[in-house]
Structure formats: C-alpha cells, structure tokens
Amino acid sequence: MTGPRATSDYLGEFEHLVLLAVMALGEQAYGVPIRRLIAQRADREVSFGAVYSTLRRLQAKGHVQFSNQPASGFAGGRPRRVARTTASGVRAVHAAQRRLRRMAEPLGEAGS
C-alpha cells in the first residue's frame, strides 16, 4: 500500500469509535445520539467539539458523508444534518477491526 492510502485507511481510536457509532445509528447519526452511544457502550464521556472535529476528519478521508434528514420532535421539524458511512468508511472499519484482532491473537480469549 502507498503511504497516503495507508494514512486515509488508518483509523485513530476515537475515529474508530465514532465511525462505529455512525454505522450503528443509521439514519439517526448526529451529535447527540453519537455522543450518547459512545458514552453507553464505550463508557466514555466525550465533548461535542471532539465529535464534530472527528466527523469532519472522517469526511475529509471519505469515510462519512453528510445529508439533510427531516428531524422530528425536539428539533422542531427543521432538517438535521446526519452522517452516513460510505463504502470506504465500512472498509476502513473492517480493516481496523482486523488489525485489532490480529494484534490481540497472542492474548487468546482475553483479546477478542
């Protein structure tokens, strides 16, 4: 693999978490749910600033795209900008997962 390609495929730990959250949330992937999901599943309190910054970085790498979705309830019917994973994003997640599993193999069950 070439250098730049490796860089754009490579996911930092937080990028990895955010991308997973976006994948899990589907049509509801915007600031609040992403933040909540990370808090629930990864047990980690993160700031909105960090989430937006990461989403923008993922967008620049081509892993997520934004689209306007009509939101209901609280947002008062105004369109919500939600994130959606791209094919490249899905590939990047799988690659990262594989890397993690390989790294964890020597640890056996504990690592999986």
Partner 1 sequence: MSRRWATARGLLRLCGARDAGEAIRDVREEAIARRTGGHARGRVAVWVARELVTVAWYELRDGDMTRRSKSIFPLLALRLAARNVSRRPAIPLLAALTLALGYGAAGAIFGVYTGFSRPLPVPEGDSVHWLRVLDERGNPVGMTLGDLEALQQGTRAFAELGAYETASVSMRVPAGFPVRLSHAAMTLEVFHLLRAEPLVGRLPVDDDGGRAVLIGHNVWTDYFEADPAVVGETVRIDAVDRVIVGVMHEGHRFPFQQDVWSVIEPGGAGASLEIAGRLGDGITADQAIIDASRVLEARRRAGGETLGLRVRLPAFTEERGEGGESLALATLLGLVICLLLVSCSNVSNLLLGRALVRADSLAVHSAIGAGPAQLVVQMLLEAILIALSGALAGVVIAAGAILYIQSTLHGHWGYYWMRVQFEPAVVLFTLALALATGLLSGMLPALRLGRADLGEILRSNAAGVVGPGRRRMSRWLLNGQVTFSCIALIIAALMAGAMLRSRTASDFRADDVYALSVSFSTEGYEDPERRRALRAALEQSAALDARIGALVASNVLPGLENQGDVPQIEGVAIDPEVGRKRTLVLAVTPGYFELFNLSLLSGRRFESIDGAGERVALVSDAFVHHHLDGGDPIGRRLRLPALAGDEWIRIVGVVANTAAYESAESRAQSRLYLPFAVLEPRSYQLLFTGADRDAAASAVRQALNELDPDLGVSGYFGGRSAVSVEEILRYVRRIYQTVGVLSLMGGVSAALVALIGLYGALTFEVQRSLSEIGLRMAMGATRSDVLRQVTRTGLRSVAPGLALGFLMSAAVAPALGVLRGHMSARDPLIYVGVFLAYVAVATLATLGPGRRAARLDPARVLRSD
Report the residue number, 56 or 94, with the smaller CB distance to partner 1: 56
Strands 64-70 and 79-85: antiparallel
Residue 99, CB-side half-sphere exposure with 13 Å CA sphere: 13
Total binding residues toward partner 1, as defined by CB under 8 A: 17
Contact region with partner 1 (CB under 8 A), list: 2-10, 13-21, 29-37, 95-103? 29-37
* Cα distance from N-terminal residue to C-terminal residue, the chain: 26
- Binding to partner 1 (CB under 8 A) within 35-94 occurs at 35, 47-50, 52-53, 56-57, 74-75, 78, 80-81
Instruction: Pick one of 32, 90, 95, 104: the residue that binds partner 1 (CB under 8 A).
Output: 32
Which helix (H) or strand (E) element contains residue 99?
helix 87-104
Q: With CA atoms as reference, report the closest residue to 81 among 61, 51, 36, 102.
A: 51
Binding residues vs partner 1 (CB under 8 A): 30-32, 35, 47-50, 52-53, 56-57, 74-75, 78, 80-81
